[in-house]
């Protein structure tokens, strides 16, 4: 049922794109006749025309770039740059103008506050910039973002081992059960018994950025091929009446509070 809806939405959004194009053509043709009809989005910059042109990328190559970029701009900007730096070469605009380095602030779960992991945030930024925001009618950017959040929470991370790792010791992998930097990094540090400033923890986070970039590109490539199907079924706000994550008991123990719910 859901799948059919998504296909339909996809169809609608493609049709909207086509209609938009023909309005533009008609407007351009009529413009010279009297200037009465103005094309709807004639002056929209390339950055606001979705989807952005996408050429399939090699996940391993993308992961390798993300790994190395982590040591320059940290998790969030590393994931964004891993994808956009390649598309800047193969496609050009709007990637060439996009200031991905500005997203360094995603480090440490945003400025060290341990909220969403920057790798997951970066992946959401990439998917939503390429595919476009949900309000345009294309839902796959949101869906890929949600899939990354769920994958990130449920997967033994890191999954990717760099070709030329900066440290050779085998790093433990952990399941965070959460997209929060604080919990993800904390659980890993506990398993590895390594402090935040250790080179092992840093390399772990660089590899998590690489792993996330790898998975993101797998999903984007599937979307490009028309084979993408959303896998995340997380809808906390709807089901639980509060925004959040699925691991309520992690923080609340057995006493998960019940938010006020609308009367049936
Ligand atoms: C990352 C930790 C964390 C997770 C995960 C989490 N919560 Fe909370 N939640 C909190 C904290 C901390 C508070 C504030 C508690 C307080 O003020 O006493 C809170 C507050 C709430 C409140 C407000 C009412 C109250 O009694 O404080 C509700 C309702 C709630 N949580 C429900 C949930 C549900 C349902 C889930 C899972 C879907 C969830 N929480 C997951 C940490 C978490």
Domain boundaries, the chain: 1-43, 47-247
Angstrom CA distances, 145 to 87, 123, 128, 148, 249, stand at 19, 7, 8, 5, 24
Mean pLDDT lowest for which of 30-34, 73-77, 94-98? 30-34
Q: Nearest-CA neighbor of 243 among 79, 81, 115?
A: 115
Report the distance separating Cα 65 and Cα 69, nearest Å. Answer: 6
- Ligand 1 atom 26: residue of nearest CA: 257
Contact 223, 212 (CB under 8 A): no
- Does the beta carbon of 245 lie inside 6 Å of ligand 1? yes
How would residue 127 be classed by pLDDT, with cut points 50, 70 and 90? very high
Q: Say if ligand 1 is within 6 A of residue 35 CB.
A: no
Q: Is 250 in the pocket of ligand 1 (CB under 6 A)?
A: yes
Check if 92 has its Cβ closer than 6 Å to any atom of ligand 1: no
The pLDDT assigned to 126 comes to: 98
To test the ligand 1 pocket, which listed residue (252, 254, 256, 259) has its Cβ within 8 A of the most ligand atoms? 252
16 band by pLDDT with thresholds 50, 70 and 90: very low
Residue 140: pLDDT band (50, 70, 90) is: very high
Residues 6 or more apart in contact with residue 49 via CB below 8 angstroms: 41
pLDDT tens, position by position, 93-120: 999 999 999 999 999 999 999 999 999 9
Cβ–Cβ < 8 Å for 147, 232: yes
Q: Of residues 44 and 159, which shows the higher confidence score?
A: 159
If 0-12 CB within 10 Å is exposed, 13-18 middle and 19+ buried, where does residue 225 land? exposed
Nearest-CA residue for atom 1 of ligand 1: 251
Closest Cα partner for 20 from 54, 47, 50, 45? Answer: 50
Q: From ligand 1's centre to the CA of 189, what distance in Å?
A: 24
Its pTM stands at: 0.86
Are 79 and 119 contacting, i.e. CB atoms less than 8 angstroms apart?
yes
What separation in angstroms does the CA of 107 have from each of 15, 193, 208?
A: 39, 21, 13
pLDDT, mean of residues 70-78 = 98
- Which residue, judged by its Cα, is nearest atom 3 of ligand 1? 251
Angstrom distance (rounded) from CA 197 to CA 194: 8
- Is 181 a residue whose pLDDT tops 80? yes
Cα 197 to ligand 1 centroid, rounded to whole Å? 30
What band does 40 get if pLDDT is binned at 50, 70 and 90?
A: low
Which pLDDT score, from 0 to 100, does residue 233 have? 84
Ligand 1 centroid to Cα of residue 108, in Å, is 22
For ligand 1, say whether the CB of 244 is within 6 Å of any of its atoms: yes
pLDDT band with cut points at 50, 70 and 90 for residue 73: very high
- Stretch 188-203: mean pLDDT, rounded? 98
- Say if residue 35's pLDDT is above 60: no
- Look at residues 153, 152, 172, 149 and name the one whose alpha carbon lies nearest to residue 161: 172
Sign of dihedral through CA atoms 68, 69, 74, 78?
Answer: negative
Q: Does position 18 have pLDDT exceeding 80, yes or no? A: no
Q: Is the CB of 242 under 6 A from ligand 1?
A: yes
Residue 152 has pLDDT above 80, yes or no: yes
Closest Cα to atom 30 of ligand 1: 257
CA 85 to centroid of ligand 1, rounded, Å: 39
Report the chain's terminal Cα–Cα distance, integer Å. 25
pLDDT bucket at 238, cuts 50 / 70 / 90 = confident
């Amino acid at each position: 049922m859901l799948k059919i809806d998504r296909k339909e939405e996809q169809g609608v959004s493609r049709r909207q794109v086509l209609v938009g194009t023909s309005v533009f053509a008609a407007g351009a043709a009529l413009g010279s006749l009297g200037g009465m009809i103005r094309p709807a989005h004639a002056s929209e910059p390339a950055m606001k025309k979705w989807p952005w042109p996408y050429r399939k990328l090699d996940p391993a190559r993308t992961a390798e770039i993300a790994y190395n970029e982590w040591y320059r701009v940290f998790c969030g900007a590393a994931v964004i740059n891993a994808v956009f730096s390649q598309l800047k070469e193969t496609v050009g605009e709007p990637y060439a103008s996009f200031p991905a380095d500005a997203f360094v602030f995603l480090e440490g779960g945003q400025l060290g506050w341990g909220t969403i992991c920057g790798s997951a945030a970066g992946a959401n930024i990439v998917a939503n910039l390429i595919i476009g925001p949900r309000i345009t009618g294309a839902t796959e950017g949101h869906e890929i973002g949600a899939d990354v959040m769920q994958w990130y929470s449920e997967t033994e991370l890191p999954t990717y081992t760099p070709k030329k790792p900066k440290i050779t010791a085998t790093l433990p992998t952990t399941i965070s059960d959460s997209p929060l930097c604080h919990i993800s990094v904390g659980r890993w540090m506990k398993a590895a018994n390594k402090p935040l400033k250790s080179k092992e923890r840093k390399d772990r986070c660089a590899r998590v950025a690489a792993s996330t970039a790898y998975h993101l590109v797998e999903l984007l490539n599937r979307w490009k091929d028309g084979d993408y199907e959303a896998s995340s079924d997380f809808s906390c706000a709807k089901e639980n009446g509060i925004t959040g994550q699925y691991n309520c008991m992690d923080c609340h123990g057995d006493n998960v509070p019940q938010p006020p719910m609308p009367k049936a």
